[in-house]
Amino acid sequence: MEALSFEQLGSEAEARAFDRAVLASPGIDHFCSSSDWVVPAALALRPGRAPFVRRGQGGGYLALAVGRDHERTWLEPLEAMWGMACPLLGEPADALALEAAAELAASAGELGAVPVLGCGFAPGSARLDAWARALTPRYRCGLGGSPTERMVASLAGGVDGWLSRRGAGFRRALLRAVRRGEREGLSIERLPERLDAAAADAAYQRLCAVDAATWKAREGVGLGASEMIDFYRVMVPRLAARGALRLAFARLGERDVAYILGGVLGDTYRGLQFGYLAGLERLSLGNLCQWNELGALAETRPTVQRYDLGAAYDYKRAWGEQVVSTVTVIAFPR
């Protein structure tokens, strides 16, 4: 397998090849295994790690990084904070897993015999089975922690089809909020999906200005209070460069009062962040932004069939109908 740096993986040509391998891999979280997620994660969430990224002979990839603390060394996916990024990407999974296992064995002279953390595998999937079988001769494999769960909504039938699958109480409350927003003059400004680097940076600064005035920021948990601000600072220009950025602002008059940020890969829209100004809770701005995004996807992105809301928190259950789980495999050297 050929070793790649983070910079090489992030280049346009390599990233597109990487994403083709991602989309060819069934049963994984495609968006959160893609270059637009894992490159920002590698550069912003856990900076300073050495890459262990390899391109296989058949075009598949092994996407890991070297984790270290003062006592231990291990290998982990490029994004291991939420455990959504799968490190084994491409088909056929059996052959790729064997190639990856051989690469791990060859690295023992450099790194030593170290544990390997593999996230983002669908339970019972052929990819998980191939990964475990390939590692078993040299590793003891077991599942680590609880499954990672995310909430997904089907967009079959467009926005009307989605709305028909919601409960009556939810529908009434949402439509009341829509009428209230119309009475108060709320408007939605949607940015182009493709932007140059300067425009993407300006859009992100505008998003951050809204986020800084949210209740999250006032309680010290907004984007500016964590490494997430740099994660999205790297991600937004990448999405905009390939025409996959979904960013809109809710406005009252000339004032931005809310934003919704997401991205598209294949048949999936992935919601990333939204926020609204503190003190405007009565307008249900978060719900209105998501409702507008659903409608815009139906009009401009009819091939998008899944709205991935991310981590399956309780408040998202009214919006989605499927909880999708992935598991983590921890492999310890024998």
The residues facing 273 across adjacent strands are 261
The one-digit pLDDT tens for each residue of the chain (334 residues) are 999 999 999 999 999 999 999 999 999 999 999 999 999 999 999 999 999 999 999 999 999 999 998 889 999 999 989 999 999 999 999 999 999 999 999 988 788 889 999 999 999 999 999 999 999 999 999 999 889 999 999 999 999 999 999 999 999 999 999 999 999 999 999 999 999 999 999 999 999 999 999 998 988 888 988 899 999 999 999 999 999 999 999 999 999 999 999 999 999 999 999 999 999 999 999 999 999 999 999 998 999 999 999 999 998 999 999 999 999 999 999 9
- Residue pair 222/278 in contact (Cβ under 8 Å)? The answer is no
Task: Write down the pLDDT at residue 240.
Answer: 98
- Residue pair 222/211 in contact (Cβ under 8 Å)? The answer is yes
State both tokens at 220: 């010290």
Q: Which candidate, 65, 58, 66, 69, places its Cα nearest to that of 98?
A: 58
DSSP secondary structure, 293-329, as one string: HHHHHHHH-TT--EEEEEE--GGGTTT-SEEEEEEEE
The residues facing 275 across adjacent strands are 259
Beta strands in 193-244 (DSSP E): none
Please tell me the distance from the alpha carbon of residue 79 to that of residue 120, in angstroms, as a whole number.
10
- Residue pair 191/304 in contact (Cβ under 8 Å)? The answer is no
Task: Write down the pLDDT at residue 24.
Answer: 97
The CB density around residue 58, as the number of other CB atoms within 10 Å, is 12
Enumerate the H helices of 12-58 as residue ranges.
Answer: 12-23, 30-33, 35-40
The CB density around residue 315, as the number of other CB atoms within 10 Å, is 9
Describe the chain by its helix, strand, coil percentages, rounded to 5.
Answer: 40, 30, 30
Task: Write down the pLDDT at residue 319.
Answer: 95
Task: Write down the pLDDT at residue 109.
Answer: 78
Please tell me the distance from the alpha carbon of residue 308 to that of residue 324, in angstroms, as a whole number.
10
The pTM of the whole model exceeds 0.85? yes
- At 274, the amino acid letter reads F
Please tell me the distance from the alpha carbon of residue 286 to that of residue 318, in angstroms, as a whole number.
13
Domains annotated on the chain, with CATH: 2-149+325-333 (3.40.630), 156-304 (3.40.630.30)
Task: Write down the pLDDT at residue 70.
Answer: 85
Please tell me the distance from the alpha carbon of residue 204 to that of residue 198, in angstroms, as a whole number.
10
Q: Which candidate, 182, 187, 180, 172, places its Cα nearest to that of 281?
A: 180
